Chain A
């Protein structure tokens, strides 16, 4: 069997549209996931019993169920259960936010707690309130330690968007699937799709590398 390059060229515009949607879902989802993850992670690390319990429950439920089940629940079950109707893209973004948030929470908790307690005490001893110590002293140090683990999570979440094929979101994998169904050129199409993902994850890796270079882990 010969590799037909023309099939790839023809598919490019469609695949490119899919890739754009993939990037959009991943970026929006990770931005939200980062916010939720920081809040839940800090609740776990410094919250009282109630806040800690809420964050723990959230993390356990999300980590304990597959992301496909989560997005099916958001897209198909929520409208029936509480009459919230959302389009597939919103469901996809929400799924990434909720899913990545749980994993990021544990990354945040771990890195904040790994900062030597003496630094916290030094900040408090100057007369700062706790939140300022977290913001100006512990946070910047913890952030540096988060970068490698966050990089992992960003890449995992980006690739997880391919699972949203199940709710019919026209992201990259779905586009590949549709083109393939029309022309049956599996080798060309799935190779092209794989390369698209590699370019996206490779770019992410590069950005993280640069960030790490600029911010030494202390």
Chain B
């Protein structure tokens, strides 16, 4: 069974139609990189997967559960699909360690000690073992984003959604986040990544999707598409991001 399945999904904000009849199937283990001009619907597509945006038409199933199901089932989808935001969105009143322990404690109902132990291991995994007691405001952007990745992983998702995870970072901080994402992909995590990092798409992606005007315009192997794009719009887009 595929992990994510879009069936004729439409989504609009008022009169503006953002997703137009999107069909898309994502299998376990895929690293899908979503690119496209701003306003093409790539972030919205991502946010529909964990029901942060409600779809208007068609159906969308995540691990067999429809996003149109009940609230409690939507919470199950959200536990399956970890999300990393452009602006990190760490909880500012909690330390890095508490941020990571938060999900397991409040969602998976672990004890505080268990959750903290797990959080320490995850922080070590993203290279921040020594930053556990720092508050988000005391961390650099790259460190905050790595904490945010650990926070999402703590709930043990089957799938990770990244919404422009490096766009708010200085260039020299991006690679530390991308490296963590790469090692996650190498462990076999299913990932859907909205990004402008073409290098990441080529090196780590197993599939590249180019979106335009609410539709999937191109879908295929990253290296092949990046080296000789025959879609003129994709070609033009790549010239601007390179």
Contacts and interface: CB of A to CB of B under 8 A. Distances in A.
Interface of A: 116, 118-119, 121-129, 132, 136-137, 140-141, 144, 218
B106 A136 contact: yes
A129 B78 CA distance: 10
B102 A129 contact: no
A119 B88 CA distance: 9
A128 B152 CA distance: 12
A97 B52 CA distance: 38
Interface in B51-81: 52, 71, 75-76, 78-79, 81
A137 B102 CA distance: 10
Nearest to A121: B52
Nearest to A135: B106
Contacts of B137: 218
Given A127-B103, A137-B91, A140-B93, A122 B78 contact: no
Per DSSP, are chain A's interface residues mostly helix, strand or loop, or mixed? Answer: helix
Given A121-B52, A136-B102, A126 B93 contact: no
Contacts of A123: 91
B16 interface: no
Contact of B71 (A125, A129, A136): A129
Nearest to A137: B91
27 contacts: A116-B89, A118-B87, A118-B89, A119-B91, A121-B52, A121-B85, A122-B148, A122-B151, A124-B52, A125-B50, A125-B52, A125-B83, A126-B78, A126-B79, A126-B82, A126-B102, A127-B76, A127-B78, A127-B103, A127-B107, A127-B155, A129-B71, A129-B75, A137-B91, A141-B92, A144-B93, A218-B92
A127 B92 CA distance: 19
Interface in B30-55: 50, 52
A119 B90 CA distance: 7
Interface in B104-121: 106-107
A29 to B, nearest CB: 30
Contacts of A129: 71, 75
A216 to B, nearest CB: 9
Contacts of B76: 127
Query: Interface size bucket, B side?
Result: 20 to 34
Contacts of A122: 83, 85, 89-91, 148, 151
A126 B155 CA distance: 7
List of 9 A-B pairs having minimum Cβ-Cβ separation, nearest first: A127-B79, A122-B89, A127-B78, A125-B83, A118-B89, A218-B92, A126-B103, A127-B75, A127-B107
A130 to B, nearest CB: 9
B74 to A, nearest CB: 9
A166 to B, nearest CB: 44
